[in-house]
Amino acid sequence: MPSTDKTVVLVHGGFVDGSGWRGVYDELTRDGYRVRVVQNATKSLGDDAATAKSVLDDLDGPAVLVGHSYGGAVITEAGLHEAVTALVYITAFAPDKGESVNSLIATFPQDGPQPPILPPREGYLFLDRAKFHDSFAGDLSDADAAFLADSQVPWGVDALGTTITEAAWRVKPSWYLHVTEDRMIPPAAQRSMAERMGATVRETPGSHAVYVSRPATVAEIIRAAAQ
């Protein structure tokens, strides 16, 4: 049993939903942790942060708030909630006050792999299905990567463009899982964001879908934040 009374709250990123956390959920609940998975519509940052806060409102104790990818922006905005004792970023965006996901993407190295994001359709973004496996899920099987590509959740343009009002990592302890083979958020950009936060950094090989491919590794850094 864990030596903590904290609940773990998991926040997914863009193009996917909360079901990808199943392996991490199983790892943590097996140890006796209470876990909640936020299901965000990923239409707007404000709505997604409000959804995360509503989950936090329902808890009867402290929480560790975890975000993957765009979920990092969500926990940065929602993490000032009084229940949150720690933030965990899983190869995630970590914007500061006045920054957005788009403004961070603009600083990424241009000589590396670029996310194959298609032009907006009616205000929403998708990844090129033919390039999804290589860019998002390089360490998943062909079948698992194809399922993620074919079940993409539309990601609202507004969600990427909205700026952070106050950055929770400025006042809450933070952890960052640096994923060395990510082809969506460059490893150098991950390192820069983690260093700016003063986060406790752990490193692992893996793709952007590390929360699916390496649930034990992801659960390990969450346990560290909880304890």
pLDDT by residue (tens digit) across 168-183? Answer: 999 999 999 999 999 9
Distance CA 133, CA 222 (A): 26
How many C-beta neighbours within 10 Å does residue 219 have? 24
What DSSP designation does 222 have?
Answer: H
Residues 6+ apart with CB under 8 A from 146: 132, 133
Closest residue by Cα to residue 115 from 130, 127, 104: 127
pLDDT of residue 165: 98
| Degrees, nearest 5: CA angle 138-142-148 | 75
Distance CA 87, CA 66 (A): 6
Closest residue by Cα to residue 101 from 79, 137, 75, 140: 75
AA identity, residue 80: L
How many C-beta neighbours within 10 Å does residue 118 have? 12
The whole-chain average pLDDT of the chain stands at 96
11 versus 1: the higher-pLDDT residue is 11
Distance CA 225, CA 64 (A): 7
Query: Any idea which of 1-5, 117-121, 184-188 has the lowest mean pLDDT?
Result: 1-5
Q: What confidence category does residue 2 fall into, taking pLDDT thresholds of 50, 70 and 90? A: low
User: Span 48-77, mean pLDDT?
Assistant: 98
* pTM, 2 dp: 0.97
Residue 86 has pLDDT above 90, yes or no: yes
Instruction: Report in angstroms the alpha-carbon separations of 104 from 23, 36, 58, 84, 204.
Output: 29, 28, 32, 24, 22
Residue 191 has pLDDT above 80, yes or no: yes
